[in-house]
Amino acid sequence: MPRYPLIAPNPPRLSDHVDALRRIEASGVFSNNGAEVQAFERNVTDALFGGHGASIAVANATLGLMVAIRHAARANGRPAGLALMPALTFAATGQAALWAGLTPLVCDIDPDDWSACARTEERLLQQHGDRIAVLVPYATFGNAIDLGRYAWLQKHYDVGVVIDAASSLGTIDAAGHGFGQNAPFAAVYSMHATKTFAVAEGGLIHSGDAGLIATLRAMINFGFEGTRSATLLGLNAKLPEITAVLAQAKLAEIGAICDARAAIEAAYRDSLAGFTLQAVQGLRRAMQFMPVLLPQPLVAKRDAIAARLEREGVGTGRYFSPHLGQQPLFRAEALIEPTPHADDIAARLLSLPITDAMTPADARTIAALFRQACAAETARIPAAPRALPAASTVIVGGGPAGTALLTAASKRGQLAAFAQGLVVVEHDDAIGGGRLGRYAITSDSTATTFLSAVQDNPYPELAAITAHPAGRAVARYTDALGVPLVEAGPLLRATGDRLADIVRAHGGTILTGHDALGTRRTSAGLWSTRLRRRSDGVEFEQLSHDMVIATGGHQPLDRLAVQQVAGESLLAQAGDRLLQSDEVLALGGYAKLADLLAGKRNPRIAVIGGSTSALATIALILKQVPALPFGAGGITLLHRRPLRPFYPSVEAAHADGFDDFSAPDICPVSGFVYRLAGFRLEARDLVLRLLGVDGRAPDPRIATHRITGADDAAARAHLAGADIVIAALGYRPHALPVRTPRGRTIALAAHQGRPMVDRHCRVLDAQDAPLPGLYGIGLAAGFVPWGDLGGEASFSGQANGLWLWQNAVGQMIVDQIFERRAADAPGSARAA
């Protein structure tokens, strides 16, 4: 029976190059950029890159990546920044970034060509700004990715670029050039024995920029530039002369080898019709093996399929599974974005052999054996169950509020028990962060608040997040006025990942990429929630004893149509000059605002509302660089309620010269002044200046006007004179549709503009009666602290805050669920 190993290393034979070996011995030069290395570098540049630019031979590709990444980061003045790379790549890509002093930022891939997702890359460049030092895209499995696009990104975002082209030496791009030719940045190739350009151990760096190559050449030689005195950061990454002899020999045959492998790939593609294969870029790839995706139902059968092929003499591989974002080192040391496409593809990948000894007929034989193995395992798949078993609890929404229940349970060591029978449903591809990290503002929670969720947590995997790059980034703001949300978002994401791991490990289910369409009370007293899987639109019902709505809040457009300001319709007064604060606060929102005001020599903005979002909007606008050319009173804040600053004590308020409060404004539990109604951190600082507290000087660009009623002509004049009107009117809950057993919609208090929940976080119907087993938490839910939770008696409104959700409020819901479980347990009075 013929054997087909996955990879059969085929470097040139040293015994066939005795004359070259004698030449090296005669020269007495065995390393240090001798004649053999120099000849190879010239010849490979001419043969594979049209004679353009320059090349350096290096000891291995990982060292090449380390040097190139380090240089790119330092050249941009970001030596400790982020290295953005795709999840589906080899560990060396991430390792090189870590050794270069950077933090990998791992993103998702394109579902067709399996390279870094272009839209995600650009979103992260906008989100993280100059924190990203370098892009490290991987030319996946030898594909000729679009280097012109990366040249544009390099200029547009002033970011370094290094291409991991490990498998691409011999690849030809769509223009007929060697992949990497004329690139203005470094491309790093492997010459490892397992690659198509098989040597032994070695690598190559090529760039169209010969000056860049000259600098990198000094870096791989201890940082020596012309003398034996280090002027650059460097290391020893030189290729030995003997290896250069092998590289020269392989260069002479690489064209024929790649053509033969391309014919094998073509035979595979013809024989694997019906299976999902990688979309090809370029005219020819230096194929190392043939990657193919198993159908989704066969994911759990991958090992069995590989075993069947092995018995037939066919070797297989799983490049790259697990991907970067799933490997323990990078989970601890990298920032990892949601990676649903990489998760799916890594789970389904199986690599089939391509070797120099094979022919297209061999590929057809292997493909037939692969199809047979898949068919045999498909026949062994049991029929799917007709209905999902009832869960204990369903949480709809896995953002900061939904995961707050998990955090609260974890802080008491209860998460393992709470996870049993738990189902978390989340629209996005990961839990924890929600949209928080996509806002351009600073939080109204301190760094200590964010870190308190994990610091000294009973679960060691959560406690370890304080040492994670996301935890360290937030800790840098411990003494600052809040944390930039783009920094807080990754911390919440990392925390969500660990929470999800714990839930799954103890019998719970995390359904990311799913939407909840509504929930219905059954005649048996359960909740039946209709779910839809976003990937394929499949809908199904999930039964549960309890339901938690944590779907967040929004600023509905229809509210603008009915909103009255100073007795007249806001929409009628502002028209197309009207924006909502959410639009401005989101990443890119200020740029949109600035574009609308372009050419205005003295622009005027009216901000309506007395909420934190109103003050955050003003703070965001004022600290942008370059600033808008506001004159005196260029921004007017129109508000109804007095602006109140928070103080940690009566004494602190008096010491600051602030005495505009009385006994009902003091929290009886904490002693805080305006604990709930008061502005905090950056918004508080702005309010203190607006009020002139303790001699603080107001910013002359800001004016305030307190709306007095329906006949307030001054308020209407401010709106009429504004170039832009920003409505910061707070948020309304995304209340999930709730129905009776017969399908009739239950009107909720939230639909009437009242709080969605009562003092126990139970969802209220339109008559303010709690619906059994249905809870709500999060932005705009309407919860007001009471009793031991504290709060001033004068407060009217709702309290939203991460610390509240992750502690008392989240625990309140967890406790009620545990009480119900205990009551339903066998032997309890209710169960009997």
In this predicted model, what pLDDT tens digit does every residue of 191-225 receive, in sequence order? 999 999 999 999 999 999 999 999 999 999 999 99
Domain closes at, from 712, 730, 748? 730
pLDDT digits (tens, 9 = 90+) for 308-362: 999 999 999 999 999 999 999 999 999 999 999 999 999 999 999 999 999 999 9
Domain assignment present for 829: no
**Residues 76 and 201 reside in one and the same domain:** yes
What b/e sequence results for 594-604 when a residue is b if at least 16 CB atoms lie within 10 Å of its CB, and e otherwise?
beebeeeeebb
Tell whether the model's pLDDT for residue 830 goes beyond 70: no
Domain assignment present for 26: no
Mean predicted confidence (pLDDT) in 479-485:
92
**Residues 192 and 128 reside in one and the same domain:** yes
**Residue 630 — very low, low, confident or very high, per pLDDT cuts 50/70/90?**
very high
**Residues 404 and 495 reside in one and the same domain:** yes
Angle made by CA atoms 489, 676, 763, in degrees to the nearest 5? 75
pLDDT on residue 384:
63
pLDDT on residue 387:
58
Structure tokens at 202: 């070695």
pLDDT on residue 237:
97
> In angstroms, rounded to a whole number, what is the distance separating the alpha carbons of residues 251 and 435?
50
SS3 148: helix
User: Positive or negative CA dihedral for 329, 334, 337, 341?
Assistant: negative
pLDDT digits (tens, 9 = 90+) for 21-56: 999 999 999 999 999 999 999 999 999 999 999 999
Tell whether the model's pLDDT for residue 134 goes beyond 80: yes
Inter-axis angle of helices 18-27 and 35-49, to 10 degrees? 130
Three state DSSP letters for 777-815: CCCCCCCCCCHHHCCCCCCCCCCCCHHHHHHHHHHHHHH
Tell whether the model's pLDDT for residue 828 goes beyond 80: no
Token pair 């209220």 is found at 764
Mean predicted confidence (pLDDT) in 274-291:
97
In order, the DSSP letters of 75-124 are HTT-TTSEEEEESSS-HHHHHHHHHTT-EEEEE-B-TTT-SB-HHHHHHH
**Residue 561 — very low, low, confident or very high, per pLDDT cuts 50/70/90?**
confident
Mean predicted confidence (pLDDT) in 437-455:
93
**Residue 801 — very low, low, confident or very high, per pLDDT cuts 50/70/90?**
confident
The enclosing domain of 793 has a CATH number of 3.50.50.60
Domain assignment present for 315: yes
> In angstroms, rounded to a whole number, what is the distance separating the alpha carbons of residues 62 and 89?
13
Structure tokens at 667: 């929290």
**Residues 663 and 634 reside in one and the same domain:** no
CB 85 within 8 Å of CB 105: yes
User: Positive or negative CA dihedral for 446, 448, 449, 450?
Assistant: positive
From the CB of residue 216, how many other CB atoms can be counted at a distance below 10 Å? 27
Express as a percent the part of the chain with pLDDT over 70: 99
User: Positive or negative CA dihedral for 212, 213, 216, 217?
Assistant: negative
**Residues 414 and 478 reside in one and the same domain:** yes
Amino acid at 146: D
SS3 350: strand
> In angstroms, rounded to a whole number, what is the distance separating the alpha carbons of residues 400 and 402?
6
pLDDT digits (tens, 9 = 90+) for 72-125: 999 989 999 999 999 999 999 999 999 999 999 999 999 999 999 999 999 999
**Residues 551 and 653 reside in one and the same domain:** no
Mean predicted confidence (pLDDT) in 722-730:
94
State how far the alpha carbon of 73 is from the alpha carbons of 48, 82, 583, in Å: 28, 9, 33
Smallest CA-to-CA distance from 165 within 141, 182, 183, 149 is with 141
**Residues 248 and 275 reside in one and the same domain:** no
Structure tokens at 772: 């059994």
**Residues 521 and 606 reside in one and the same domain:** no
pLDDT on residue 594:
94
pLDDT on residue 389:
77
**Residues 251 and 262 reside in one and the same domain:** no
Domain assignment present for 444: yes
pLDDT on residue 530:
96
Structure tokens at 608: 């309506």
**Residues 496 and 596 reside in one and the same domain:** no
> In angstroms, rounded to a whole number, what is the distance separating the alpha carbons of residues 280 and 61?
24
Mean predicted confidence (pLDDT) in 670-693:
95
Domain assignment present for 811: yes
**Residues 666 and 750 reside in one and the same domain:** no
The enclosing domain of 328 has a CATH number of 3.90.1150.10
pLDDT on residue 826:
78
SS3 4: strand
**Residue 277 — very low, low, confident or very high, per pLDDT cuts 50/70/90?**
very high
Three state DSSP letters for 201-220: CCEEEEECCHHHHHHHHHHC
> In angstroms, rounded to a whole number, what is the distance separating the alpha carbons of residues 267 and 277?
13
Domain assignment present for 384: no
Tell whether the model's pLDDT for residue 831 goes beyond 60: no
Mean predicted confidence (pLDDT) in 525-543:
94
Mean predicted confidence (pLDDT) in 498-524:
96
Tell whether the model's pLDDT for residue 516 goes beyond 90: yes
Q: What's the pTM value of the predicted model, to 2 decimals?
A: 0.92
Three state DSSP letters for 246-258: HHHHHHHHHHHHH
Structural domain count of the chain: 5
User: Positive or negative CA dihedral for 19, 24, 30, 34?
Assistant: negative
Domain assignment present for 582: yes
Range of the domain at 116: 32-255
State how far the alpha carbon of 402 is from the alpha carbons of 278, 415, 506, 778, in Å: 37, 14, 18, 7
- Report the DSSP beta bridge partners of residue 516: 531
Average pLDDT, the chain: 95
SS3 775: strand
Lowest mean pLDDT: which of 314-328, 549-563, 656-670?
Answer: 549-563
**Residue 188 — very low, low, confident or very high, per pLDDT cuts 50/70/90?**
very high
From the CB of residue 429, how many other CB atoms can be counted at a distance below 10 Å? 15
In order, the DSSP letters of 236-283 are B-BPPHHHHHHHHHHHHHHHHHHHHHHHHHHHHHHHTTTSEEPPP-SS
The enclosing domain of 231 has a CATH number of 3.40.640.10
The CA radius of gyration of the chain, in Å to the nearest whole number, is 31
Alpha helices in 388-530 (DSSP H): 402-411, 415-419, 447-452, 460-463, 469-475, 485-505
E runs forming strands in 17-93: 54-58, 82-86
Domain assignment present for 771: yes
**Residue 435 — very low, low, confident or very high, per pLDDT cuts 50/70/90?**
confident
pLDDT on residue 687:
96
**Residues 465 and 364 reside in one and the same domain:** no
- Helix, strand, coil proportions of the chain in percent (round to 5)? 40, 20, 40
pLDDT on residue 829:
60
